[in-house]
C-alpha cells in the first residue's frame, strides 16, 4: 500500500489524472491523441510562462473540433518582446485563468491521451515547469513530436529543424491563426493526419510505437 | 469560452449556402460540433449501399468525386456539400464518394441538419432546391437571397431545361385490387419485374406497396403474406396531374420522403390513375436531356432551324453555369452540340450543291473549337483537307464552294464569320493533304512569330466530318517535321511564356496598363492561354495526337509523367475554374468574358482566381526548364 500513501499527498485532480493511466489502449483507432500547442512569454522554460494553451483531439484519425480546449493564463511574468508575435496583451479582454487552474483544466482534458505537438519537447517542458511550481511530478503521457515524425516519413534522414510554417507549406495547408495556441494546434493536427496517412502507406499494420521510435 | 478553431470553421462555412443563411450563433453551434477529416487521393468517404454515417460532408480543401458504380456523377470542390441526401432520407448511400485529390473534409453531424431545416426557412429551401435541380448551388450568385418558395423555381421560366420539362412517367402502372393478398401482389410485382404496385379502387389509387414495404413489414415478420395488401400499403398516395415538372416531382418526393408519385387525371386522389413516376424515372430524365437536342439537330432541314436549336443549347448552357454544374460536363455537352450542328450544316450544304463529291475530305474545327473549349458563341474557326488529286483546281473549287455554304450556314446559326478569315472558305485553309503537309513543314522548319501563332491555332484541330484518315496523315506529318527539327518546340515554348505569370511579387493582379481595357485583367491572355499553350507544347513533345482539349491533355500528361501528376492535376482544376469564370462573366455582360474588372470581384472570386495562378506559374516554370528557355529568353 506504499504507492497508495504516496498518492495521497497529491490533490484530487492529479490523482484522477494519474488513475487514467491504469487503462491501456492497444487499438490504434481507439487511441485518443490530444494535439496541443502553448504560447509562451519566451523560450526559456525556467523563467518564461505559458500565455495560452490550445488543444484539439484526434481519434481514429479524425479531428474532433468539439473535443478541444482553449485557455488563457493570467500573467505576472510578462515579456513585452513576445507580444508582437502572439498579439496577446497582458490584460486583454479574454477570460483568463490562474496558471494553476489552466493546468488543472489541461490535465482533466488530456487524461491518458497521447500528446502530439510540434517540437513537443518545449511545450512539454513548459507544462512540466508549471506542474513543478504546483509541487507536482511531470506529465505521464506518451508524446509524439510532429517535427520528428516528419523526418521519419522522409526517405532521407536529416536533423534539420522544420518549422510549422515549413511543414504547412510542404503539405499545402493554408495557414491562419498562426501564433495562437489553438490555431497552431489545429494546423499541427492537420499535419499529424497527413503524416499518419504517409506512415500508414509505409506500414500496413501500424502500431502506436511506430509513431514514437524514430531512430 | 473562446473557440478559435470553431470560429475559423465558421468563417469558412459562412461563405457557402446554406450556411450563409444561418445566424452567427446557429453556425457557431454547428461549427463546434464538426469533425475534420483527411483523405488521400482515392480514399472512399462513403461507398454505395453503405449504411448511413452520422455526418454529412463539406469539402474544405481538395475535391471529391461522386460516382454511381464507376460513372462520375458530380464533382465537389471547396464549399460543396455531399452525402446530404442519404442523411435527410435516412437511407443507404446511393453513390460512392471518392477523394479525387488530397482533401480535407468537414463532417457535420446529421442532427444539425434538423436544426437547419426546422429553424431556418431559407436554408431549408436551399436544400430542397438543390435536390430538385440536382445541383448543389441552385441559385446563381445574382439570385442569392431570393426565396426558392416564391415560385421562381416552382414555376420556372423557359430557360431552365430538365427541371421544367414535364417528367415522363410510366404510363401503364401495374395495379391490383385491395382485396388480394400480399403474396398475390408480390407475385405480380415479381412477374412484372417492378419495385412497386399501386392498389386501386375503381381505377383510383388508394395506396402503394414498394419493395421497401416488403422488406420492412413482411421480411421482419410484422405482417403475414396471407394478409390483404391494405394491411401494409402506404396510404394515401401522393398524386399529381400529368404535367408535373421534374422539379416539382423531386420536391414532392423529398418533402414526403417517398420515391413514387401517382399521376392521376386531375391530379387528385379522386380521379383516375394514369401513371406512376418514380425516382428512377427522374434520374433517367436528367441523364437524357441534351440528347434530345442532338436528335433535333439531326432532323433539322435548314440553318434557321439549327439556329433555334442553338439558342436552346445556349440557354441550357447558361442554366448549367448558373447551377454550378461541372465545367467539364458542360463543355462536353456543348461541344457535342456544336459538333452535331456543324455536321448537319455540312450535310445540308453537300445536299444543296447537288454535285457528286469529287474526292473524300475532312472538315476540321480549329482553335478553341478544336479544343472543345468553347462555351459562348464566338467566331467560327475551321479548315478543310481533301485527298491529293490530279485535277487540283477543279476539286479545290468544289470544296471552296462547299465551305462557303457551310460557313454561311454556321453564320446563320450564330457562329460569326472569323474576321481573320480562319475559315475553310479561305483558299489558304482549304488544301489537299500534301499541301497541308508542306504548309506545316514550312511553319515548323522556318518558325517566326506569325507562324507559331498559326501553329497554335491549327495544331489544335479536331476532326468533325468526313474521312478521318486524312487527319491522321496530317498529324503524322507534324510529328515527323518536329522530329527533324526539334528546336521548333523551343520556339513554341518561348511563345507559351510570352505572358508572364499573372501574379506580381506583391501577390497583386497584373492588370492591363494601357488601352481600352486599362486596369482590367485579361483572363484569356494571362491565365487561360498560358495553360492552353503549355498543354499543347507538352503533348506535342510526347507525340500524342487526337487529344485536343486542354483538360484531356493535362490528364494524359499526368499519366505519362506520374512525377508531375500533381502539377498537371492542378492545371486541370485551374483551367476548369477559369473557363467557368470567363463564361459566367461573358454571360453576365454579354461579351466574350475576356476582360475582368478586378475591383468588382468579391473576395471569394478573387481568392478563387488567385488560386488558379499558382499552377500557371508552375507550368511556365516547367516549360522554361524543360525546353531550356532561360538562355533563349
ipTM: 0.86
Find the Cα–Cα–Cα–Cα dihedral B110, B115, B120, B125, rounded to 10°: 30
The torsion defined by the Cα of A88, A90, A95 and A98, in degrees rounded to 10, comes to 120
State the cell numbers at B60: 474544405
pLDDT at B364 over 90: yes
Q: For residue B336, what pLDDT band results from cuts at 50, 70 and 90?
A: confident
Please report residues of A whose CB lies closer than 8 A to that of B8.
176-177, 183, 186
Question: In this complex, is the C-beta atom of B34 within 8 Å of any C-beta atom belonging to chain A?
Answer: yes
pLDDT of residue B185: 92
SS3 B164: coil
Task: Report CB contact under 8 Å: B9, A64.
Answer: no
Specify the pLDDT at position A160. 74
Nearest chain A CA: its distance from B578 CA (Å): 21
A93 touches chain B (CB under 8 A): no
| Backbone region of residue B382 per phi and psi (left: phi > 0; alpha: psi in -120 to 50; beta: other values) | beta
Q: Which of B1, B4, B39 to mutate to test the interface with A (most CBs of A within 10 A)?
A: B4
Which residue do the cell numbers 512540466 mark?
Answer: A128
Q: What is the pLDDT, as a whole number, of residue B507?
A: 40
Q: Which three cell numbers stand for residue B513?
A: 496598363
Contacts of A94 in chain B (CB under 8 A): 2
Range of lowest pLDDT (A94-108, B45-59, B369-383) = B369-383
8 A C-beta contact, residue B561 and residue B568: yes
**How far, CA to CA in Å, does B565 sit from each of B121, B356, B561?**
44, 50, 6
Helix axes B529-541, B468-484, angle to 10 degrees: 80
Provide the grid cell at B179: 382485396
Cα(B313)–Cα(B334) distance, rounded to whole angstroms?
A: 7
Nearest to B105 by CA among B41, B58, B64, B52: B58
B233 or B2, higher pLDDT: B233
B392 occurs within a structural domain = yes
The CATH number for B252's domain is 3.10.580.10
Is B142 within the bounds of a domain? no
**pLDDT the model gives residue B142:** 31
Position A166 scores a pLDDT of 85
Residue B434 lies in a domain: yes
Q: What is the mean pLDDT of residues B403-431?
A: 92
Chain B nearest-CA residue for A64: B35
Question: What's the pLDDT at B110?
Answer: 85
Averaged pLDDT, B187-204: 88
CB B572 within 8 A of CB B101: no
Express the helix, strand and coil content of chain B in percent, nearest 5 each.
50, 15, 35
B319 & B275 share domain: no
Q: Which of B284, B317, B351 is the last residue of a domain?
A: B284
Q: How far is A194 from chain B (nearest CA, A)?
A: 7
DSSP state at residue B528: I
Residue A199 has pLDDT above 80, yes or no: yes
DSSP string, A80-123: GGGHHHH---TT-SS-EE-HHHHHHHHHHHHTTPEEEETTHHHH
Residues B457 and B506 in one domain: no
Nearest CB neighbour to A70, from listed B4, B9, B61? B4
CB B125 within 8 A of CB B150: no
**Res. B288: pLDDT tops 70:** no
- Report angle CA A203, A208, A213 to the nearest 5 degrees: 80
Co-location of B437 and B517 in the same domain: no
Helical (H) or strand (E) element with A14: helix A12-19
CB of B278 closer than 8 Å to CB of B260: yes
Of the candidates B413, B319, B327, B400, which has an alpha carbon nearest to the alpha carbon of residue B361? B400
- The two beta strands, A143-145 and A114-117, are parallel
Local confidence band at A110 (pLDDT 50, 70, 90 cut-offs) = very high
pLDDT in tens, B227-269: 999 999 988 888 888 777 666 676 677 667 788 889 888 888 8
Residue A172 pLDDT > 90:
no
pLDDT of residue B559: 92
Mean pLDDT, residues B570-598? 82
Higher pLDDT, B329 or B48: B48
Q: What is the pLDDT of residue B483?
A: 85
In this prediction, residues B82-107 reach a mean pLDDT of 85
Q: How confident is the model at residue A3 (pLDDT cuts 50, 70, 90)?
A: low
Q: How many domains does chain B have?
A: 4
Residue B139's pLDDT is what? 35
In this complex, is the C-beta atom of A60 within 8 Å of any C-beta atom belonging to chain B? no
CA nearest B3 in A: which residue?
A70
**Does residue B335 sit at the A interface (CB-CB below 8 Å)?**
no
C-alpha dist (Å) from residue A214 to A145, A153, B42, B108: 10, 10, 28, 36
Residues B311 and B239 in one domain: no
* Interface residue B591 vs chain A (CB under 8 A): no
**CATH number where B89 lies:** 2.60.120.10
Total domains in chain A come to 1
| Average pLDDT score over residue span A184-208 | 87
In a domain, B344, yes or no: yes
B416 and B440 both lie in a single domain: yes
Find the CB nearest A62 among B3, B33, B36.
B36
User: The cell 487561360 sits on which residue?
Assistant: B528
Cβ contact (<8 Å) for A197 and B40? yes
Residue of A35, A60, A63 to mutate, interface with B, max B Cβ within 10 Å: A63
Give the residue, B86 or B417, on which the prediction is more confident.
B417
Domain assignment of residue B163, yes or no: no
**Does the structure show a pLDDT above 80 at B327?**
no
B618 and B501 part of one domain: yes
Range of the domain at A132: 2-212
Q: Tell whether B587 is within 8 A of chain A (Cβ).
A: no
Residue B107 and residue A180: Cβ atoms within 8 Å?
Answer: no
Report yes or no: A84 at the B interface, CB cutoff 8 Å. no
442523411: which residue's cell?
B87
Over 80: is that where the pLDDT of A79 sits?
no
Residue B137, pLDDT above cutoff 90: no
- The three cell numbers of residue B117 are 431545416
Q: Nearest CA to B574 among B467, B502, B500, B515?
A: B502
> Do B196 and B112 reside in the same domain of the chain?
no
Assess if residue B292 is contained within a domain.
no
Q: What is the pLDDT of residue B121?
A: 64
Using a CB-CB cut-off of 8 Å, the residues of chain A touching B608 are: none
Over range B60-73, report the average pLDDT: 82
Grid cell locating B65 = 468525386
Helix (H, G, I), strand (E, B) or coil at A77: coil
Cβ–Cβ below 8 Å for B5 and A180: no
B40 to A95: CB separation less than 8 angstroms, yes or no: no
Answer yes or no: is pLDDT of B207 > 50: yes
CATH label of the domain that carries residue B308: 3.30.460.10
Does any domain span residue B158? no
Of B33, B40, B104, the CB nearest to A66: B33
CA B20 to chain centre: 25
For chain B, how many helices (H) and strands (E)?
A: 22, 20
CATH number of residue A150's parent domain: 3.30.420.10
CB contact under 8 A, A194 and B107: no
Regarding whether B459 and B324 lie in a shared domain, the answer is yes
The answer to whether residue B506 scores a pLDDT higher than 50 is no
| Whether residue B394 is found in the same domain as residue B524 | no
| pLDDT value for A94 | 67
Instruction: Of A33-47, B299-313, B512-526, give the lowest mean pLDDT range.
Output: B512-526
Q: How far is B615 from chain A (nearest CA, A)?
A: 13
Q: Determine the pLDDT at residue A151.
A: 83
Are A181 and A37 within 8 A, CB to CB? yes
Residues of chain B with pLDDT > 90: what percent? 26
As to burial, measured by CB atoms within 10 angstroms (0-12 exposed, 13-18 middle, 19+ buried), residue A200 is: middle
Copy the grid coordinates of residue B368.
478553341
Q: What is the pLDDT of residue A87?
A: 53
Is B542 within 8 Å of B560 (Cβ atoms)?
yes
- For A154, other C-beta atoms within 10 Å of its C-beta total 11
Q: Which of B8, B32, B38 is opposite residue A66, by nearest beta carbon?
A: B32
Name the nearest CA neighbour of A128 among A113, A143, A118: A143
Query: What average pLDDT does range A148-174 have in this prediction?
Result: 78
Query: Can you tell me whether residue B225 is helix, strand or coil?
Result: coil
Domain extent for B515? 486-633
Say how far apart CA B403 and CA B436 lie, in whole Å. 17
- Which ranges of B100-220 does DSSP label H, i.e. alpha helix? 110-119, 121-132, 182-192, 211-213
Cα A140–chain centre separation: 13
Cβ-contact B294, B337 below 8 angstroms: yes
A-B CB pairs within 8 A amount to 66
Cα B223 from Cα B216, distance rounded (Å) = 9
Note whether B370 and B510 are same-domain residues: no
**Which of helix, strand or coil describes residue A153?**
helix
pLDDT band at B150 (very low <50, low <70, confident <90, very high): very low
Q: Does the structure show a pLDDT above 90 at B93?
A: no
Say what the pLDDT of residue B45 is: 94
Give the residue from B5, B507, B615 with the most A CB atoms within 10 Å of its CB, the best one to mutate.
B5
Q: Pick from B227, B258, B284: which residue ends a domain?
A: B284
Whether B70 maps to a domain, the answer reads yes
- Taking CB atoms and an 8 Å cutoff, what residues of chain A touch B40? 197, 201
Rounded Cα distance between B346 and B343, Å, is 5
CB contact under 8 A, B35 and A61: no
How many whole angstroms separate alpha carbon A147 and alpha carbon A66?
25
pLDDT of residue B308: 86
Average pLDDT, chain B: 80
Tell me what pLDDT residue B593 has.
Answer: 78
> Do B570 and B611 sit in the same domain of this protein?
yes
Question: What's the pLDDT tens digit per position in B390-404?
Answer: 999 999 999 999 999
Report the C-alpha gap between B563 and B122 in whole angstroms. Answer: 46
B5 CB within 8 Å of a chain A CB: yes
pLDDT, residue B450, reads 87
Which residues in chain A have Cβ-Cβ distances shorter than 8 Å to B3? 68, 70, 182
Distance separating alpha carbons of residues B122 and B169, to the nearest angstrom: 30
Q: What's the pLDDT band for A117 if we cut at 50, 70, 90?
A: very high
Helix boundaries (H) for A111-163:
120-133, 146-153
Distances (CA, A) of A87 to A39, A51, A91: 10, 11, 11
CA atoms of B442 and B448, how far apart (whole Å): 10
Contact A54/B at CB under 8 A: yes
Record the cell numbers describing residue A126, joined without a space.
Answer: 513548459
B61 touching A, CB under 8 A? Answer: yes
Amino acid at each position: 500500500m506504499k504507492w497508495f500513501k504516496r498518492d495521497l499527498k497529491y490533490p484530487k485532480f492529479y490523482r484522477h489524472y494519474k488513475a487514467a493511466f491504469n487503462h491501456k489502449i492497444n487499438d490504434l483507432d481507439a487511441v485518443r491523441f490530444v494535439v496541443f500547442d502553448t504560447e509562451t512569454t519566451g523560450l526559456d522554460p525556467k523563467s518564461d510562462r505559458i500565455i495560452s494553451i490550445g488543444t484539439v483531439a484526434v481519434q481514429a484519425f479524425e479531428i474532433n473540433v468539439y473535443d478541444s480546449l482553449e485557455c488563457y493564463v493570467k500573467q505576472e511574468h510578462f515579456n513585452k518582446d513576445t507580444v508582437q508575435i502572439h498579439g496577446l496583451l497582458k490584460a486583454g479582454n479574454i477570460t483568463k485563468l490562474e496558471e494553476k487552474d489552466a493546468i488543472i483544466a489541461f490535465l482533466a482534458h488530456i487524461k491518458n491521451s497521447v500528446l502530439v505537438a510540434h517540437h513537443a519537447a518545449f511545450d512539454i517542458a513548459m507544462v512540466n515547469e508549471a506542474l513543478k511550481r504546483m509541487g507536482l511530478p511531470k506529465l505521464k503521457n506518451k508524446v509524439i513530436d510532429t517535427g520528428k515524425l516528419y523526418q521519419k516519413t522522409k526517405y532521407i534522414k536529416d536533423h534539420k529543424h522544420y518549422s510549422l510554417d515549413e511543414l504547412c507549406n510542404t503539405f499545402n495547408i493554408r495557414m491562419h491563426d498562426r501564433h495562437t495556441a489553438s490555431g497552431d494546434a489545429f494546423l499541427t493536427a492537420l499535419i499529424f493526419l497527413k503524416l499518419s496517412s504517409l506512415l500508414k502507406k509505409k506500414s500496413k499494420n501500424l502500431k502506436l510505437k511506430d509513431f514514437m521510435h524514430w531512430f | 469560452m473562446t473557440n478559435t478553431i470553431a470560429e475559423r470553421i465558421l468563417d469558412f462555412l459562412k461563405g457557402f449556402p446554406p450556411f450563409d443563411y444561418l445566424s452567427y450563433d446557429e453556425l457557431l453551434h454547428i461549427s463546434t460540433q464538426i469533425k475534420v477529416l483527411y483523405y488521400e487521393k482515392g480514399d472512399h468517404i462513403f461507398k454505395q449501399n453503405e449504411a448511413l454515417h452520422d455526418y454529412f460532408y463539406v469539402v474544405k480543401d481538395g475535391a471529391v468525386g461522386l460516382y454511381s458504380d464507376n460513372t462520375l456523377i458530380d464533382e465537389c470542390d471547396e464549399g460543396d456539400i455531399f452525402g446530404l441526401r442519404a442523411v435527410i432520407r435516412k437511407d443507404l448511400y446511393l453513390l460512392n464518394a471518392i477523394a479525387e485529390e488530397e482533401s480535407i473534409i468537414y463532417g457535420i453531424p446529421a442532427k444539425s441538419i434538423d436544426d437547419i431545416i426546422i429553424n431556418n426557412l431559407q436554408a431549408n429551401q436551399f436544400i430542397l432546391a438543390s435536390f430538385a435541380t440536382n445541383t448543389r448551388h441552385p441559385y446563381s450568385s445574382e439570385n442569392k437571397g431570393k426565396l426558392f418558395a416564391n415560385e421562381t423555381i416552382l414555376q420556372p421560366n423557359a430557360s431552365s431545361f430538365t427541371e421544367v420539362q414535364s417528367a415522363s412517367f410510366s404510363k401503364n402502372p401495374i395495379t391490383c385490387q385491395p382485396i388480394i393478398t400480399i403474396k398475390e401482389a408480390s407475385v405480380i410485382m415479381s412477374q412484372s419485374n417492378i419495385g412497386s404496385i399501386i392498389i386501386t379502387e375503381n381505377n383510383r389509387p388508394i395506396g402503394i406497396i414498394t419493395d421497401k414495404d416488403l422488406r420492412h413489414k413482411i421480411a421482419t415478420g410484422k405482417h403475414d403474406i396471407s394478409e390483404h395488401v391494405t394491411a401494409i400499403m402506404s396510404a394515401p398516395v401522393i398524386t399529381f396531374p400529368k404535367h408535373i415538372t421534374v422539379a416539382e416531382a423531386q420536391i414532392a418526393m423529398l418533402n414526403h420522403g417517398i420515391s413514387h408519385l401517382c399521376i392521376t387525371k386531375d391530379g387528385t386522389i379522386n380521379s383516375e390513375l394514369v401513371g406512376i413516376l418514380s425516382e428512377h424515372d427522374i434520374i433517367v430524365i436528367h441523364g437524357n436531356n441534351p440528347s434530345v437536342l442532338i436528335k433535333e439537330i439531326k432532323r433539322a432541314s435548314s440553318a434557321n432551324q439549327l439556329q433555334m436549336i442553338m439558342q436552346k443549347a445556349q440557354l441550357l448552357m447558361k442554366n448549367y453555369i448558373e447551377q454550378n454544374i461541372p465545367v467539364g460536363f458542360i463543355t462536353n455537352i456543348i461541344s457535342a452540340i456544336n459538333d452535331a450542328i456543324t455536321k448537319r450544316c455540312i450535310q445540308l450544304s453537300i445536299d444543296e450543291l447537288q454535285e457528286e463529291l469529287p474526292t473524300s475530305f475532312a472538315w476540321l474545327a480549329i482553335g478553341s473549337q478544336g479544343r472543345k473549349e468553347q462555351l459562348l458563341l464566338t467566331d467560327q474557326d475551321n479548315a478543310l483537307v481533301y485527298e491529293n488529286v490530279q485535277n487540283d483546281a477543279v476539286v479545290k473549287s468544289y470544296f471552296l464552294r462547299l465551305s462557303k455554304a457551310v460557313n454561311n450556314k454556321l453564320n446563320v446559326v450564330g457562329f460569326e464569320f472569323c474576321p481573320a478569315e480562319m475559315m475553310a472558305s479561305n483558299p489558304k485553309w482549304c488544301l489537299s493533304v500534301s499541301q497541308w503537309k508542306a504548309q506545316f513543314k514550312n511553319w515548323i522548319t522556318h518558325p517566326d512569330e506569325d507562324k507559331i501563332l498559326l501553329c497554335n491555332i491549327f495544331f489544335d484541330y479536331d476532326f468533325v466530318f468526313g474521312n478521318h484518315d486524312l487527319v491522321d496523315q496530317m498529324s503524322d506529318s507534324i510529328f515527323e517535321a518536329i522530329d527533324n527539327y526539334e528546336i521548333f518546340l523551343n520556339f513554341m515554348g518561348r511563345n507559351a511564356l510570352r505572358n508572364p505569370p499573372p501574379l506580381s511579387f506583391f501577390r497583386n493582379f497584373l492588370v492591363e496598363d494601357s488601352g481600352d481595357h486599362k486596369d482590367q485583367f485579361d483572363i484569356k491572355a494571362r491565365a487561360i492561354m498560358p495553360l492552353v499553350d503549355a498543354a499543347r507544347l507538352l503533348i506535342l513533345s510526347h507525340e500524342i495526337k487526337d487529344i485536343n482539349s486542354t483538360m484531356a491533355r493535362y490528364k494524359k500528361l499526368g499519366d505519362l509523367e506520374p512525377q508531375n501528376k500533381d502539377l498537371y492535376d492542378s492545371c486541370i482544376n485551374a483551367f476548369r475554374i477559369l473557363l467557368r469564370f470567363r463564361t459566367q462573366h461573358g454571360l453576365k455582360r454579354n461579351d466574350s468574358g475576356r476582360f475582368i474588372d478586378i475591383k468588382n470581384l468579391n473576395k471569394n472570386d478573387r481568392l478563387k482566381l488567385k488560386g488558379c495562378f499558382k499552377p500557371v506559374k508552375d507550368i511556365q516554370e516547367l516549360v522554361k526548364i524543360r525546353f531550356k528557355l532561360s538562355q533563349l529568353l
